[in-house]
Chain A
Amino acid sequence: MYPSSGHTNGYHDQQQQQPEQQRFVTTAQRPRVRRGPRGGGGGGVRSRDYGDGFRVSGEDNSQPPSQQAEQQNLAPCTDFDKAYFHSYAHVGIHEEMIKDRVRTDTYRSAILQHQRHIEGKVVMDVGCGTGILAIFCAQAGAKRVYAVDASDIAVQANEVVRANNLSDRIIVLHGRVEDVEIDEEVDVIVSEWMGYMLLYESMLGSVITARDRWLKPGGLILPSHATLYMAPITHPDRYTESIDFWRNVYGIDMSAMLPLAKQCAFEEPSVETINGENVLTWPHVVKYVDCYTLQIYELESVTTRFQFKSMMRAPFHGFAFWFDVEFNGPANVNANAQILLPGSPNPPSLDGVVKKKRTNPSDTLILSTAPEDPPTHWQQTLIYFYEPMEVEQDQVIEGSLTLSQSKENRRFMNIHLEYSSGGRSFVKESVMR
């Protein structure tokens, strides 16, 4: 192993020595633009000061700005967050996301499918972006939609709302869910919060915060559940393209480059599209998330042990990760509504909203980013080994995986992977940043 994998998060432990460090990291190393296309394009929305719970909508200005004192229990907005929100102000990313039809169509279908829960109700769109989901909800008959986004894109969202004559029903709030204030509870939370590998730079924490602050007991969360999967993969083409390329470069042998090429190509997780044929086994569930019951601390670290049996003989190049999300209604809505008083100031108790998975699978809409399903902008996330490992049919591959939030930037993700097969054991550390 090269030390470099630990190195990528090098300032991890420096903080004790260098308390000032954190401030610098933000400028030096903003999180990569989430899901942003590297090429292609357009400029960006001019940066404005990041809003502090500032209501963009013209109407109903009775809300006072956020009261810091009330929010001592909520996570403060760090510079990392600011950088993250800043990166989202770039509209090209939103274009990319909206153009992902699998994503947008599934959300629209889910909103229409749950129309009876939305019609005449109060909805919150957490991380609204350009406001497309909020608009879908308004279209589905929502009485009022709070569209919240901390990024400057909120300014654009407000204009979009106005241009489509929805200002009377959609209220755009420019700020974090931790900071904004609304004076009512909501019946529905909708959010497109998923990041690469589900949890990388995910907004799930914000969804949970919104749930605990405003969701009525028995309220609906869309999506309701999420599952992160992993599976061993073989990908000879990618290996050839990245590595064997150097053996014959326009007729010239440059194989001296191979060690460097391997390090360069396989050090960090790679977001790319593979297909079902690359996958060696059935996937393993790394984490199942129930948005109704999940607590924020559960996201700090996820550990799982896995065991796979290769279904074929092939070079084993690494692991792929993908996820799906379900759009399920709240279980026992009626029961809960009876137990908990409407308008209760406390968040619903955990037990109150426990539900079974896929009570009615045929009805459940699923947005899947699996290799065998139509591609999305999330693609799959691959962690490659420096050297492939030959595996036989039925050979066992086992080990463990830990995903944890980087302490310095909670939107970075540390990936610790231990795996062994055929009597050999390996450790791979990576940081997704």
Chain B
Amino acid sequence: MADTESQSAEEIKLIQKRVIIDGEYEGEEEELEEDEEEDWNDWGEDGDEELDSNFVCLFCDSNYTSCNELFEHCRLAHKFDFQGIRKRLGLDFYGSFKLINYVRSQVAQNGCWSCGVTCQSKEDLQNHLHETANLENVRLLWDDDNYLKPFMQDDMLLHSFSEEEEEEDAEDDYKASFDKDELMRHLGDIGVLNINEVNGGSTSEHHYESFKQNETKEPASSSNGQVVYKSLQPLITNGVLGDAEPTNIVNLSANKIKTVNDNYFGSYSSFGIHREMISDKVRTDSYRQALMKNPSLLTGAVVMDVGCGTGILSLFAAQAGATRVIAVEASEKMAAVATQGNNSKSTGVMEVVKSMVEELDKSIKIEPHSLDVLVSEWMGYCLLYESMLGSVLFARDKWLKPGGAILPDTAIMYAAGFGRSCTSLPFWEDVYGFNMSCVGNELVQDAARIPIVDVVQDSDLVTHASVLQKFDLATMSPDDVDFTATIELEPKSDNAVANLTESKAALCYGIVVWFDTGFTSRFCKEMPALLSTSPYTPKTHWCQTLLTLRDPIAIASMGQQPGDNSAVVGSEKCPVTRLSLRISIARGVEHRSIDISMEASGVDAGGRKRAWPAQIFHLS
């Protein structure tokens, strides 16, 4: 690919948004993607040969044989001056491309592209169309990656609208020439992505994988701008995960219209999530401490921020004296936001690059192994759910100097047993004097399949915490995130939790998992920092992740008298004194999901053993 293409390739690159959805999971997602993919691939192939086709008016059914005629018609008949708008806003190829798709999507709904009024009919709309004074404001509406997806199939206009000018603007750096095949491939991929987003937040992993190798099997993480943390919680709390009834046969063309809107709003939601993350003081303060209080590390440093979001970490780095900060963000919208956020202090230091890390080469020249510091906030729920770690490690291997700093540089996952107070059971036992425990039991059975993300208090724990897995980010390989670990959990020695009567064992209802990430003295020599999401420290937006056992296991300290030999091991009459758990976490076949398996086994005071059947949890 020629150098001039890099700009366009970068612009169309990936789109990563944190989409808040209202808690549904669509069973037909996978099918849809495939249909859609084929659909667009076909389109890409056909598109090339049919350059002499008609150009369909954006607003009415007229056809024209040239772009210019069509635009002249739009200007005169529909008060839509395409070339004028391009000129006034200085729209580049992609900006214009999006404008066309945006206008078509609006017209399909009888909506006015510039003021948003919805008309009763196409005729009403045509009468309604008017000049637009405040173009800059309207621009926000189509400045969305989702409009890179052709709204109308075989829209010849998209192929041709810029051809006339291509030569005259050839020297203009900002407007790049492009390879149509390449473009169509990108667009096809975007089609896939859009569907994902409708269905509950997507990452670009799938897209990236299929784009690279047409193989979705390997679930490597990639440089998604950010992860869809928040989509998880509604999914779980609504409890409809995986149970969604396939009530509808989805109509693809209807789908397309819908997609445009959903994504539009999804993208604003994503902003809300960044806002929430910045407001997470525990998180932001620990990064700030690591970046601002370690002058020997940051002064004069070249820094990369992977998945910069609003760019706050990059701004910290710039303020701390870095000479160059490369802020990489795959979502066009968030990258634009980060660019706006650039202030006087960071000017000339910070550059926002809209790209996936894996394809950064196409957008910007960075010498291999030239970075002093690599910073990223990549962690997902349960550390690994929708995490961007793969992208961070990719950047590490490619650009970080030998011995360069990676922030954070350690991640440790912990597990501990939680008690009844952490479940819904106590509440449903006595509701205004009535016993509704059947409802609570139903909830517990559900939670034995789907991890719950919620806040756990220190006092909810019935065992000590145990380290589940440690990651050293400076040395680990991307595949290390799939692991199996066996841990032993010991009951808390204070019997306050073990219950009122001393002889009574504590019931362990499940395992809570959390993580800490460290900015250790290895790199942060002046002031190490720790970001903890534990039940012992102030809560963060990550909360903790709960894996509920199908049946509770009674657990008691060694010192207590042996249990009743006739009773089942792990029951209250015969508690286990050692509880061991074999926990595996693996990236799911579906991109961005993780699968967790948990097997419990225990030994009672008399040495009798019992193993419980494995439970599988799916986090997606």
Contact = CB atoms under 8 A, between A and B. Distances in A.
Interface stretch (A63-71, A115-123, A245-253, A344-352): A245-253
Given A13-B110, A261-B275, A4 B141 contact: yes
A423 interface: no
Contacts of B257: 10-11, 14, 18, 21
Nearest to A39: B233
A309 interface: no
Contact of A18 (B244, B253, B262): B253
Given A6-B117, A28-B262, A92 B436 contact: no
A267 interface: yes
B258 A25 contact: yes
Interface in B440-462: 442-443, 445-447, 449-450, 452, 454-455
Contacts of A253: 343
B261 A91 contact: no
Interface stretch (A142-150, A155-163, A316-324, A367-375): A155-163
A24 B341 CA distance: 38
A269 interface: no
A10 B102 CA distance: 13
Contacts of A94: 439
Given A11-B258, A132-B432, A23 B341 contact: no
26 contacts: A10-B261, A13-B111, A13-B118, A17-B108, A27-B244, A28-B198, A32-B23, A39-B237, A39-B543, A42-B237, A43-B239, A44-B237, A45-B442, A45-B446, A86-B245, A87-B238, A91-B442, A91-B443, A92-B239, A99-B427, A156-B439, A164-B435, A250-B312, A254-B315, A256-B342, A260-B268
A5 B434 contact: no
A136 B433 CA distance: 10
Contacts of B319: 251-252
A29 interface: yes
Contacts of A130: 431, 436, 439
A160 B437 CA distance: 8
Contacts of B310: 254, 257
A44 B238 CA distance: 6
Identify the 3 closest CB pairs spanning chains A and B, nearest first: A44-B239, A3-B116, A43-B446
A297 interface: no
A9 B111 CA distance: 11
B201 to A, nearest CB: 13
A139 to B, nearest CB: 9
Given A20-B253, A23-B251, A257-B337, 15 more contacts: A3-B115, A7-B141, A13-B118, A24-B251, A27-B24, A42-B424, A42-B447, A44-B446, A86-B240, A99-B427, A156-B439, A159-B439, A245-B275, A250-B312, A254-B312
Contacts of A135: 432, 434
A79 interface: yes
B454 A40 contact: yes
A257 to B, nearest CB: 6
B93 to A, nearest CB: 24
B116 A7 contact: yes
B254 A24 contact: yes
Interface string B21-43: 01110101000000000000000
Contacts of A106: none
B500 interface: no
Given A24-B254, A31-B22, A261-B275, A11 B109 contact: yes
Interface of B: 22-24, 26, 28, 106, 108-120, 137-138, 140-141, 198-199, 233-234, 236-241, 243-245, 247-251, 253-255, 257-258, 261-262, 264-265, 268-269, 271-272, 275, 278-279, 284-285, 288, 310, 312, 315-316, 319, 337, 340-343, 423-424, 427-428, 431-432, 434-439, 442-443, 445-447, 449-450, 452, 454-455, 543
Nearest to B117: A6
Interface residues of A, number: 82
A168 to B, nearest CB: 16
A160 B434 contact: yes
Most chain A beta-carbon contacts within 10 A, residue among B116, B269, B319, B446 = B116
A287 interface: no
A133 to B, nearest CB: 10
A257 B341 contact: yes
Contacts of A249: 278, 312
Of the listed residues A7, A42, A132, A251, the one surrounded by the most CB atoms of chain B closer than 10 A to its CB is A42
Contacts of A24: 248, 250-251, 254-255, 258
B24 A30 contact: yes
A312 interface: no
B107 to A, nearest CB: 11
Given A3-B141, A10-B111, A46 B255 contact: no
B261 A43 contact: no
Given A11-B257, A12-B118, A18-B253, A36 B341 contact: no
Given A42-B239, A90-B237, A249-B312, A26 B275 contact: no
A33 interface: yes
A342 interface: no
A135 B435 CA distance: 11
A47 interface: yes
Nearest to B431: A98
B439 A3 contact: no
Contacts of A108: 432
Interface in A91-108: 91-92, 94-95, 98-99, 104, 108
A42 B247 contact: no
Interface in A146-201: 156, 159-160, 163-164
